[in-house]
Amino acid sequence: MSEVLRNDIFRFSSELPVQQGFYRLCKFKPENPQFYLPNLLVTETQLDSPLPAYFVDSVTSKVLFDSIDDGDIGIVNNGNMLRVILSRRANHNTVLVTERCNNGCLFCSQPPKTGNDDWLLNQSALAIASFSLNGVVGVSGGEPLLYGDDFLHFLDFLIENSPETALHVLTNGRKFADVRFTLRMKERSEKMRITFGIPLYSSRPSVHDYLVGSEGAFDETVRGLINAGNSGINIELRIIPTRANYNELDSIVEFAGRVFSNINQISLMGLESTGWARKNWSSIFIEHDIYSDNILSAVDSAYRSGIPLTIFNYPLCHLPERAWQFSTQSISDWKNYYPQECDTCTRKSSCAGYFSSSKGRFHQPPRPII
Ligand code: SF4
């Protein structure tokens, strides 16, 4: 891995191993009596007095202390390793609520597992409420909507306990094919700011189903998009260009513009070379330069459809110049890096840079813009 903008994993010392689990990270005495999660004191140096009762445990790490804000959320693993999952200093915050999924995308960054992990949904609800961010928290999987009614209860809890927090939920949208579920989701969406990021990889069922590894997925996702959009649920439509669909980007955008309602944004997303994408790289990845014209056609098609289009995860030097204005610094800081060559580039401050996982055959070399 290359050096990232913000480290999220830390090792620490403590007298005894800290119990595995989610914690509210404290640098000071907590003031709000409603914590939702146990309080873990983080200190720069070893404590020389007994631990106050409002902390369940303490860890000592100057690096961790300097890297967090009071009230950030962390997960402890293996007794002395902590991952900061919700950080006030992060450019994006996301919780993973399940690793189960009913798709098997060829480029899945979080390959699905089958075991019961319901506890992740419960702990994520407590983590978001404890973090209480006046901003957006991402919810990802796996497929979060596999929880069905339990996901609606998760939202009800957050509406009551974290009213300032908006959610961005990544879902394959198939659950919205169920009209009854969609109507119940609509009720929640009227009480909180919530957007669903739903991928559609083709306007042809065979191509979409091939890329998501599930026959019949296109049919359910399209019905889901229609139901959700017609209900007024906010949708971000996501497209990942691959070898299988790069030449129909404009068709997908036009299809979305003609068939669906309430698409607030279309996102063109560069592949992340992690998970199954690494395994399938040679059959799915296509050099960005090869389909520059297709990207511009998609931009034009979105303009004609009146839907804003944003480009995620592309280094500017691998996009046609006319597309630069649509590109955003999208990569989460804990996995975002800029190779040394970028230091001479005049566009670095507005460029998305690279995933830290992109090395060797996954890397397209930077071409500094002078
Ligand atoms: S050289 Fe680096 S900073 Fe410049 S556009 Fe390319 S990736 Fe971005």
Q: What would the DSSP string read from start to end of 40-79?
A: EEEESS--SSPPPTT-SEEEE-HHHHHH--TT-EEEEETT
Examine the pLDDT at 79 and tell me if it is beyond 90.
no
User: Looking at the domain assignment, is residue 261 inside a domain?
Assistant: yes
Considering the domain boundaries, does residue 222 fall inside one?
A: yes
- In the block, which residue shows the tokens 């840079």? 353
Domain around 52: 9-86
Report if residue 367 sits inside a domain: no
348 pocket-lining for ligand 1 (C-beta < 6 Å): yes
23 and 147 share one domain: no
- For atom 3 of ligand 1, the residue with the nearest CA is 348
Taking the alpha carbons of 139, 142, 147, 150 in that order, is the dihedral positive or negative?
negative
Alpha carbons 232 and 357: distance in angstroms, whole number: 37
Q: What are the pLDDT digits (tens) for 9-34?
A: 998 877 788 999 999 999 999 887 66
The reply to whether 56 and 120 lie within a common domain is no
Residue 31 pLDDT? 83
Q: Is 315 in the pocket of ligand 1 (CB under 6 A)?
A: yes
Domain end call among 86, 107, 132: 86
Give me ligand 1 centre to Cα 340, in Å. Answer: 10
Residues 154 and 191 in one domain: yes
Q: Does ligand 1 come within 6 angstroms of the Cβ of 351?
A: yes
Mutate to test the pocket of ligand 1, among 347, 358, 363 (most ligand atoms within 8 A of CB): 347
Q: Do 55 and 190 reside in the same domain of the chain?
A: no
Domain shared by 50 and 110, yes or no: no
Task: With respect to residue 2, please indicate whether it lies within any of the assigned structural domains.
Answer: no
Is 323 contained in some domain? Answer: yes
Cis preceding linkage at 148, omega within 30: no
Ligand 1 atom index nearest CA of 354: 7
Residue nearest to atom 2 of ligand 1 (CA): 342
CB within 8 Å of 128: residues ≥ 6 apart: 86, 95, 137, 158, 162, 165
Residue 350 and residue 332 share a domain: yes
pLDDT tens-digit series, residues 180-211: 999 999 999 999 999 999 999 999 999 999 99
Domain boundary among 86, 102, 131: 86
Q: What is the mean pLDDT of residues 255-277?
A: 96
Task: Examine the domain organization and report whether 57 and 148 are in the same domain.
Answer: no
Assess whether 140 and 55 both reside in one domain. Answer: no
pLDDT at 302 over 70: yes
Domain boundary among 61, 86, 111: 86
Question: What percent of the chain clears pLDDT 70, i.e. is strictly above it?
Answer: 99
pLDDT of residue 34: 67
Q: Give the nearest ligand 1 atom to 316 CA.
A: 5
Residue 123 domain flag? yes
CA-nearest residue, atom 1 of ligand 1: 368
Same domain, 149 and 246: yes
CA distance 289 to 111: 28
**In which band, very low, low, confident or very high, does the pLDDT at 234 lie, cut at 50, 70 and 90?**
very high
Look up the CATH number of the domain holding residue 241: 3.20.20.70
C-alpha of residue 352 to centroid of ligand 1, in Å = 8
Instruction: Please check whether residues 239 and 351 belong to one and the same domain.
Output: yes
Predicted local distance difference test score (pLDDT) of residue 18? 92
Model confidence at 332, in pLDDT bands (50, 70, 90)? confident
pLDDT value, residue 262 = 97
State residue 47's pLDDT score: 87
Our count of domains for the chain comes to 2
Residue 255 located in a structural domain? yes
- For residue 214, name the pLDDT band (cuts at 50, 70, 90): very high
* CA–CA distance, 335 with 319 (Å, rounded to integer): 21
Return the ligand 1 atom nearest residue 352 CA.
8
